[in-house]
A and B are shown apart, each in its own frame.
Chain A
Amino acid sequence: MPSLGADMDAGTLVEWRRHPGERVARGDIIAVVETQKGAIEIEVFQDGVIETIEVPVGQKVPVGTVLARIRGAEELAAAPTPPSRPLPTPGETPEIPPAVTAERARISPRARRRAESLGVDLAAIAGTGPGGAVSFEDVERAARARSPAADMRKAIAAAMSRSKREIPHYYLEASYDVSALLDWVAERNAGRAPPERLLAMAPLLKVVALALRQMPVLNGFWRDGAFLPSDEIHLGVAISLRGGGLVAPALHHPDRMDAEQLMRNLSDLVARARRGGLRSSELSDSTATVTSLGESIADTIFPVIYPPQVAIVGMGGIVQRAWVVDGRIEPRQVLRISLAADHRASNGIQGARFLEIMGRLLQEPGKL
């Protein structure tokens, strides 16, 4: 069971797409896992043949549990788990809720098993069974009362609390005249039918990605007391879901794509985030995140880093402001971009340098 985010400690296997004996290649989707973030497709990270399936459909298992064994070219027999995550040693008792107090709670065996498979917090249920024990029916009732939105809220709460507890954030902000970029987008969209049009977000994400390439100290992870830079750039894009949910799946390699490709991938990512069809790698391998307020009265967002990443870029609304150009005041489209970065991994001067690089890139949208 791969970790699909710092807040995840277990997931429920809901579907096997591939079966023992079948050949799989890196990137194939072999299973679907239900998490607090919805149903996620699990990809494999190596080529080989599925040898055994270790976790049946319907079972909830802790992160690190072997889901299936794949015999690879190098006789590897490992789980489809992101390689850099430490696996718990086999046999170690997994830490799964419920948090039962020192005095063992009265929960029927059937109720306990049901609660585990549904991911229901037993400690929060008042039992109505014999002697006030929590019964199967009690668990079912609690599960019915629970909303996916509440689950997601919990997940966000856990990740953000951890971030603010552990990460010493520093914040920088700069204002940019993005008129040239918007003109470029408008010009490019002018002759095209709606499905072919770009949103300004597409070139903006490209700018962030290119700037990260030049400032690698903001792109990677803080793990085990040290910064681990990432050679690749995967931008987490914060997507708000109607009803209060929020996910930040990764847009892979935005630095290598042109604006059209990036736009296509972005719309696909947003669409899948909204209807539930994100892939495991998209939830686990972002190397930095971008959050945008879109059209909003707020000029600036001071975002919270998503651990174990070390930086997050925040974009406010684009508004017309008075701007000084060549000694004259002119109305221009102004965007304020903020950076929250992990002071353990980088210093303010590096963050400022990152904002400068973006400024330069924004002035030459044609080169993107």
Chain B
Amino acid sequence: MKTTYREAVREALREALTKDPRVFLIGEDVGRYGGTYACSKGLLAEFGEERIRDTPLSEGTFVGAGIGAALGGMRPIVEIMTVNFSLLALDQIVNNAATLRHMSGGQLSVPLVIRMATGAGRQLAAQHSHSLECWYAHVPGIRVVAPATIEDARHMLGAALAESDPVVIFEHATLYNLEGDLPERPSFMDIDHAAVRREGTDVTLIAYGASVHKALAAAEELAHGGVSAEVIDLRTLRPLDEATIIASIVKTHRAVVVDEGWRSVGLAAEISARIMERAFYELDAPVARVCGAEVPIPYPQHLEQAALPQVGAIVAAALATRG
């Protein structure tokens, strides 16, 4: 079935709202406006104000409300406009949602799903464009996922709602218009495993979110040059699926990690360290990283693109691991 990433998200929301009366959607502009990225367009008319709730511009407040509802037995889906704004709710997410099961000795659980847009590429400048997935992936007590495909956009939400602990879903803002087929039978329903999106033997390209598509394009280009690249879509950023990564390294002995986030203290660094710990003696070259430039994301398009990982840089890094 031909569809888009945005429609897949909307279908997932519709299914969740239909199946479970405890589910409701809350966030800025999710109702009357239909969602900043139009993901919830039409849902207000369909499900009513009780379940599609517009909020004031106060992330700390509505995330806190979501946590409270979850504690009370509901299954809230909180939408935050972008990861940049989610920092206003960090206290609620890190100090409350992530800790309460632990601090109550298991008596409380917070089955909360937070969706937020992330990433650059739409000329929204430095306050709307950053990739801060690693901030959340750092925190024990929450699960972090990044659907990169239409299929994952459609099915990860259901899996997240089935969890009894908080799940943060990162939807890259450039993916909403992605068009493609949605298979009738999903190949992945879980939010535990990374996926090998392309098999290869010479080098492993590890990416998540929008970067997966750049890695796939790089793999295609590498194939023309006779280099067989394997592409891993991490899917879940916390906990990391080490087994899939290591299995691939054992096969290819070389790795390039692609991450739109900044290189310093980021996810790419974490993945590189895991490879070092688990597969050092399998490596035939140092692990390479292709990351976002260490600047606030620029507004002008040519500078914004220059600050992001691009296919050419991924190809170059992959070739460099082969000498």
Contact = CB atoms under 8 A, between A and B. Distances in A.
Q: Do A and B come from one complex?
A: yes
Interface of A: 108-113, 127-133, 135-137
B317 to A, nearest CB: 10
A136 B286 contact: no
A64 B323 CA distance: 38
Contacts of B284: 108-111, 129, 135-137
Contacts of B323: 127-133, 135
Contact of B285 (A112, A113, A129): A129
A110 B321 CA distance: 13
Nearest to A128: B323
Main SS of chain A's interface residues?
A: helix
A110 B322 contact: no
21 contacts: A108-B285, A109-B280, A109-B281, A109-B283, A110-B253, A110-B284, A111-B284, A113-B281, A127-B323, A128-B323, A129-B322, A129-B323, A130-B320, A130-B321, A130-B322, A133-B323, A135-B284, A135-B285, A135-B323, A136-B253, A136-B284
Nearest to A132: B323
Given A109-B282, A130-B323, 12 more contacts: A108-B253, A109-B283, A110-B281, A110-B282, A111-B284, A113-B281, A128-B323, A130-B285, A130-B322, A133-B285, A135-B284, A136-B284
Contacts of A110: 253, 281-284
B314 to A, nearest CB: 16
Contacts of B286: 130
A128 B253 CA distance: 15
Interface in B278-305: 280-286
A135 B323 CA distance: 9
Contacts of B320: 130
Contacts of A112: 281
Contacts of B280: 109
B252 to A, nearest CB: 11
A139 to B, nearest CB: 10
Contacts of B283: 108-110
A250 B128 CA distance: 81
Interface in B248-294: 253, 280-286
A128 B322 CA distance: 8
Nearest to B280: A109
Residue in B253, B280, B321 whose Cβ sees the most chain A Cβ within 10 Å: B253
A165 B323 CA distance: 43
Contacts of A137: 284
Contacts of A113: 281
A170 B322 CA distance: 57
A130 B280 CA distance: 16
A108 B280 CA distance: 9
Nearest to A129: B323
A113 B323 CA distance: 19
A130 B287 CA distance: 11
A131 B282 CA distance: 18
B12 to A, nearest CB: 42
Nearest to B276: A109
Nearest to A136: B284
B148 to A, nearest CB: 28
A136 B284 CA distance: 6
